[in-house]
Amino acid sequence: MNFVRIKSYAKINLSLDVSDAHDGYHEIDSVVTTIDVADVIAVKKRKDKLVGITMHGMGSESMPYLSNNAVKAAEAFIAAYSTAGADITIWKNIPMGAGLGGSSADAAGVLNALAKLYDVDDIAGIKRIADALGSDTGYMLTGGYARISGRGERVQPIDCNLKLDIALLVPRTGVSTAECYNLWDSVGERTAHSDEVMRALFEGDREMLGKALSNGLYMPAKALNADVGRAYEALAAFAPLGVNMTGSGSAVYAIFENDMFARYARSRYSGQMQFIQTKTCLPPKEM
């Protein structure tokens, strides 16, 4: 096998409870799930140990090589397993800087693709590499419904097949994750809604879930980027089951009763933000 192509999916936070910082890091308790918005990642073997990368879409073409998490993932994999290098091509569909986990999805996708390309069967080892790359990268290796905690490295998969119809609004500008967490210390909410979200998922109750959606970073994100609040208000105007921001923003999503209501919201939205209609999905197991 000399070539592998896979999809790596975006995520949304159904809850995001933040704790006070310790040793410079805030701990989280979050229920997450993947949605049917994915980057396509292709990897091809090289004869040397170098990593080449080509990015397409979402403004990713200008991303610096050394700060690209996909490159870091490939280099860490090659170092850990003494494989040859790879040429990587990524077609971006996940909006960047929106709290949808696009950078982590690319890193996790590269790790999954390289493991398949070089026939490496070491789930624990690859998870350690992923955790070192970013707070939710380890989760993104498998996706699906999960509860993540600590700095995001503790992943508890949730056996849930609840399908959610989702409308997503993506402002033109993002929110700095570091600035958002720093501002949370003074204006953020001390939420504790992850247990409520878990209960709604176990009961398969969309209405309960809509009411339980929560993100402790919403207020600081809105203070940093007013479009976060505008996106929230625009989606709330369609009377969905619930509205929430994902990650540290700037994307905001709404959960609807069914596909018809989500399509109606899409047809009636007249703003300038990117509107994505999507659903939750269970990615094929790469690891």
Let me know if 165 is a catalytic residue: no
Q: Answer for the pair 89, 41: CB distance below 8 angstroms, yes or no.
A: yes
The catalytic residue among 136, 165, 222, 227 is 136
Distance CA 183, CA 179 (A): 6
Q: Is the peptide bond before 8 cis (omega within 30 degrees of 0)?
A: no
51-56 and 154-157 beta bridge pairing = unpaired
CA–CA distance, 117 with 194 (Å, rounded to integer)? 37
User: What is the 3-state secondary structure of the chain?
Assistant: CCEEEEEEEEEEEEEEEEEEEECCEEEEEEEEEEEEEEEEEEEEECCCCCEEEEEECCCHHHCCHHHCHHHHHHHHHHHHHCCCCEEEEEECCCCCCCCCCHHHHHHHHHHHHHHHHCCCCCHHHHHHHHHHHCCCHHHHCCCCCEEEEECCCEEEECCCCCCCEEEEEECCCCCCHHHHHHHHHHHCCCCCCHHHHHHHHHHCCHHHHHHHCEECCHHHHHHHCHHHHHHHHHHHCCCCCEEEECCCCCCEEEEECCHHHHHHHHHHCCCCCEEEEEEECCCCCCC
The yes-or-no answer on residue 211 being catalytic is: no
Which residues are identified as catalytic?
11, 136
